[in-house]
Structure 1
Amino acid sequence: MVINGVTMITKVVVLHGLYMSGFVMRPLCARLKKQGYGILNVSYNTLNPDTDKIFAQINDFIADDQCAFVCHSLGGLIARQYLSQAFPQTDQVKKVFTLGTPHKGAQIARHMQDRGMQALLKNSLEYLVSESQDWPFSAQLYSIAGDLPFGLLPLFEQGKPSDGTVMVDETRVSGMAQHKVFHLSHTSLIYSRKVVDYILAQLKT
């Protein structure tokens, strides 16, 4: 879509987080769809992500249109891997919104690994413990974090701002366009009207 000579984002890829499915992202998708965006709500096995299948779905959906990503937690790390690929469609991704994504790696996953609980994470572990200090992609990153510590993480990391699962600092990397903190827990980031309103405002910019 071209408005006043400017090509606009018309499609949004939505990626859920660990132990979830596309079902939990439906309310968020409905809000975006109501504003006229085409939506691909990807469901995938978070313990064993089949990235070949996921990326093929995304490429077919994007085609030649400008696109954004909205990702919760692990979904943002899957998006990072997608953008690192040499697909022609990656150039069409203009904005990426991550909700509680541990770009620097998730300390809670490291604690689980140290305690021999890595079997609970399976192949998602390779994403969750990876450490990235920057955002090297042309797509603009809007990293959204929560600081309502409702979860297990405060048992291991006391006194550090978090959403209960991911520390606020783990969501900050150099090169991001914006970093926004809401007083929300890890899961409630998905369902917050304030978060969706923020995303919609940035999409229309």
Structure 2
Amino acid sequence: MNIHTEINQQVNEVSDIQVIVLHGLYMSGFVMKPLCHRLAKSGVNILNLTYKSRDPDSKQIFNQLDDFIADKPTVLVCHSLGGLIARAYLENNSESSQFITKVITLGTPHKGSSIAKQMHEKGLDKLLKNSVEYLLSPNNDWPFKAKLYSIAGDLPLGLMPILERGSESDGTVLLDETKLMGMAEHKVFHLSHTSLIYSRQVVSYIQDILLSE
């Protein structure tokens, strides 16, 4: 097999997969466009979903996911809060959710967000609104058929070093919050919470996951 045949086969394998991208808190699909553009070069069909991050309408989001997935193998690529939305979607257990093969999260506080908890305790729920329902969920494991690939950053640019001195974080999410029992892989990059979205290293890693079994 020559190198061109091998590359064409890899592109065909990836093009059989759909990808849904979910942004994080205080963001929209706009910030995820560079990541989507790079992933689209692999030939995947992408839905870059925008939702109200402080006031997520679960029913509307889940319906949009169902409509796009239908009955095709799909991977969820999620930043921060988006990973918790993805978990809620899998917990909802719709027929289409059974076609989610992998969930790739970037800086998602799977065990619950320490910053959100402190904001909640200080009575700052207005800044979080209904997102607090997701951000304070104390999850400990990953019980789903879909494989979880958790990507984390350890460049602490943000509030976390001030709030929790000596902690390991990406500046917003603690490193430990990104780890769950049952995840397929945990990968750490020397990046901050937001720069995880724009890193070519991270995109390359995601592309490798899309091609993996």
- TM-score tier (shorter): over 0.9
Gaps of 5+ in 2: 1-8
The answer for the alignment partner of 2:18 in structure 1 is 11
When Rg is computed on C-alpha atoms for both structures, the one with the higher figure is 2
Q: Identify the match of residue 149 of structure 1 among 151, 156, 161.
A: 156
Q: What is aligned with 2:67?
A: 60
How far off its partner does 1:90 sit?
A: 1.1
- TM-score calculated relative to the size of structure 1: 0.95
Residue identity matched to 2:20: V
Change (3 A) 1:90 1:14: same
- Structural RMSD (CA): 1.6
Which one has the bigger helix percentage? 2
Could you tell me which of 34, 37, 43 is aligned with 1:36?
A: 43
Give the aligned residue type for 2:128: L
Task: Calculate the TM-score normalised by the size of structure 2.
Answer: 0.92
Give the SS at the match of 2:92: coil
Listed as ranges, the gaps of 5+ residues in structure 1 are none
Q: CA deviation at 1:15?
A: 0.2
Tell me how far apart the structure 1 counterparts of residues 79 and 14 of structure 2 sit (CA, whole Å). Answer: 26
Whichever residue aligns with residue 63 of structure 2, its letter is A
- Kept in 2, the 8 Å contact 1:9–1:203? The answer is no
Of all paired residues, the percent bearing the same amino acid is 59
Distance 1:178 1:82 in 2: 21
CA contact (8 A) 1:8 1:66 kept: no
Task: Please point out which of 101, 109, 117 is paired with 1:102.
Answer: 109
Report the CA distance between 1:7 and its aligned residue: 10
Deviation at 1:101, TM superposition (A): 0.2
**Take 2:65 and 2:133, find their aligned partners in 1: how far apart are those partners?**
21
State the partner residue of 1:193. 200
Farther off after superposition, 151-160 or 18-27: 151-160
Give the letter for the 2:180 counterpart: V
| Matched position secondary structure for 1:180 | strand
Residues 35, 7 of structure 1: CA spacing in aligned structure 2 closer, same or farther, 3 A cutoff? closer
1:140 aligns with 2:147: yes
SS of match in other structure, 1:103: coil
Cα-to-partner distance string for 1:93-125 (whole Å, 9 max, x where unaligned): 001000000000000111111222111001001
Q: Which residue, 120, 124, 140 being the options, matches 1:113?
A: 120
State the 4+ residue runs in structure 1 displaced beyond 6 angstroms.
none
Deviations 1:171-199 (A, max 9, x none): 00000000000000000000000001000
| Residue-by-residue CA offset, 1:112-170 (whole Å, 9 max, x unaligned) | 11222111001001111110000010000000000000001111111110000000000
Task: Measure how far apart 1:8 and its partner are.
Answer: 7.7
Show the counterpart of 1:163.
Answer: 170
Aligned pair partner of 1:179 in 186, 196, 199 = 186
- Secondary structure of 2:187 counterpart: strand
Q: Is the 8 A contact 2:115 2:160 kept in 1?
A: yes
Measured in 1, the distance between the counterparts of 2:159 and 2:117 equals 13
Tell me the amino acid that sits aligned with residue 134 of structure 1: D
Counting matched residue pairs gives 202
Q: What SS class does the counterpart of residue 60 from structure 1 fall into?
A: helix
Deviation of residue 41 (structure 1)?
A: 0.5
Q: Aligned AA for 1:39?
A: I
